[in-house]
């Protein structure tokens, strides 16, 4: 039987299998009023279906640590204690279905203040609920996007504190895994990459300086997150600039990520969720089945840290082979779980494995 169906232990937490749901923004929180940033019935239905379908871990989508940390006015957020009960509805449901509840904490930086993705994701002005975006440097996310305000040291201190406060709240809400978004062009990634970070102070220039903000956030969260529970970090292994010999722009590389991974392990990070890209809009990305798996495999081998592979992993035998070949410790799926909420149960049938089935569904999965 494939290790896809085996439990996975991280610190004192046991995750029932290696088939996990990646965080995927739903842009469905209430945009205004006292319920701003709260999960809606949509989130319960969305995550509950995948939990009933056998996912061992579900990561709630990128959740803003402040109002300005959201990507859109419709994102989830957890910047006040009044928001905790709304998230307890999700953790209670997932736990009752035997799935480990996790959540991704994020700050959008210069990628914030935009419309919903399916409406084009264009920047929003204040008349449409938008806000002033920020970043490590005054460099826009892309053509047509506003120039962000460069963060001061005081601003940076405040955001580090917001990550820590959000981690305390998600622990109180019942989450068992917290993941920090340090990829896909969001704020932590913006500090990491020399493409977006042109600072000349102690947060820019050298590798050590550009990683300083990321490590401060990790340390602040690890200090308040329960010692027995795991801390994940989602990284973009590359900006996809150095892979293109015709592109002379400087960016974040796989070598940089290996180096960072070793440091993150020393700072108490338990697993890396390995993705790529998201910072440079016109980067040429070589997309194909499992195209990001080699990045995960290299981090696992060279940094000695557990990793989850993600990106166009769609078939049970493909996922099983990734684990069998020691390229990853777990599989994180996004779009495929949107298409097939019961993918883990389908995988069990295809590969002869065992996955927990809610009693209400057992008649559909005879053993």
Closest CA to 54 of 18, 8, 30: 18
Question: Which residue in 27, 186, 291, 361 is the catalytic one?
Answer: 186
**How do residues 158-176 score in pLDDT, each as one tens digit?**
999 999 999 999 999 999 9
361 part of the active site: no
CATH code assigned to 3-111+153-355: 3.20.20.70
How many whole angstroms separate alpha carbon 203 and alpha carbon 138? 14
Phi first, then psi: what are they for 237, rounded to 5°? -65, -30
Q: Which residue has the higher pLDDT, 36 or 55?
A: 55
pLDDT at 203 over 70: yes
Looking at the chain, how many residues does it have?
367
Q: What is the pLDDT of residues 122-159, one digit of tens each?
A: 999 999 999 999 999 999 999 999 999 999 999 999 99
Q: What is the mean pLDDT of the chain?
A: 96
The overall pTM is greater than 0.85: yes
pLDDT of residue 312: 97
Distance CA 136, CA 127 (A): 25
The Cα-based distances of 135 to 25, 74, 151, 235, 253 in angstroms read 21, 21, 6, 18, 20
What's residue 31's pLDDT? Answer: 65
């Amino acid at each position: 039987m494939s290790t896809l169906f085996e439990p996975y232990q991280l610190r004192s937490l046991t995750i029932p299998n290696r088939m996990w749901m990646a965080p995927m923004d739903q842009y469905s929180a209430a945009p205004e009023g006292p319920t701003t940033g709260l999960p809606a019935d949509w989130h319960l239905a969305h995550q509950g279906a995948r939990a009933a379908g056998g996912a061992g871990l579900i990561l709630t989508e990128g959740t803003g640590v402040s109002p300005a940390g959201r990507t859109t006015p419709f994102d989830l957020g957890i910047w006040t204690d009044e928001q905790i009960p709304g998230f307890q509805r999700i953790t209670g449901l997932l736990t009752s279905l035997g799935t480990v509840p996790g959540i991704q904490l994020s700050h959008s930086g210069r990628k914030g203040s935009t419309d919903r993705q399916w409406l084009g994701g264009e920047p929003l002005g204040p008349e449409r609920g938008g806000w002033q975006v920020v970043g490590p440097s005054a460099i826009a996310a892309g053509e047509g996007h506003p120039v962000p305000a460069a963060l001061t040291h005081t601003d940076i201190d405040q955001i580090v504190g917001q990550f820590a406060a959000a981690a305390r709240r998600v622990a109180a809400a019942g989450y068992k895994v917290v993941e920090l978004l340090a990829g896909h062009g969001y704020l932590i990634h913006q500090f990491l990459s020399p493409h977006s970070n042109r600072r000349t102070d102690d947060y820019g220039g050298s590798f050590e300086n550009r990683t300083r903000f990321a490590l401060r956030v990790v340390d602040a969260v690890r200090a308040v997150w329960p010692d027995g529970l795991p801390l994940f970090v989602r990284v973009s292994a590359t900006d996809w600039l150095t892979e293109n010999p015709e592109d002379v722009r400087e960016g974040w590389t796989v070598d940089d990520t290996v180096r960072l991974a070793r440091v993150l392990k020393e700072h108490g990070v338990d697993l890396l969720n390995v993705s790529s890209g998201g910072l440079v809009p016109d980067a040429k990305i070589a997309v194909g089945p499992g195209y990001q798996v080699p990045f995960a495999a290299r981090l696992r081998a060279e940094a000695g840290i557990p990793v989850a592979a993600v990106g166009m992993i769609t078939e049970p035998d493909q996922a099983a082979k990734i684990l069998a070949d020691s390229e990853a410790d777990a599989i994180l799926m996004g779009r495929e779980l949107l298409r097939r909420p019961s993918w883990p149960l389908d995988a069990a049938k295809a590969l002869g494995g065992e996955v927990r089935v809610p009693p209400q569904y057992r008649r559909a999965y005879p053993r």
